[in-house]
Amino acid sequence: MGAVPGYKRHQPEQALLYLITERYQLALIALMERQGNPLPGYVQKEFEDDLKCGRL
């Protein structure tokens, strides 16, 4: 099956927000926990889901 003419794959892994999330997500989660104010589970899930988006 060939590529669709004119289609260019979106590359979220190259977007600035994606790169920042990927690099600092775990540090942010740990910091918030140390401060006694952990991120809600749904926020952590959004981080994880965002990082999975577009990964082949």
Task: Say how many domains are in the chain.
Answer: 1
pLDDT digits (tens, 9 = 90+) for 18-56: 899 999 999 999 999 999 999 999 999 999 998 887 666
Q: Please give the residue that has the higher pLDDT: either 39 or 7.
A: 39
Would 2 be classed as within a structural domain?
no
Q: Please give the residue that has the higher pLDDT: either 34 or 13.
A: 34
Would 29 be classed as within a structural domain?
yes
Helices vs. strands in the chain: H and E counts, helices first: 2, 0
pLDDT at 1: 58
Q: Could you tell me the pTM of the whole model?
A: 0.69
CA dihedral 4, 22, 44, 47 (to 10 degrees): -20
Would 6 be classed as within a structural domain?
no
Would 7 be classed as within a structural domain?
no
Would 20 be classed as within a structural domain?
yes
Q: Which residues form the domain of 29?
A: 12-52
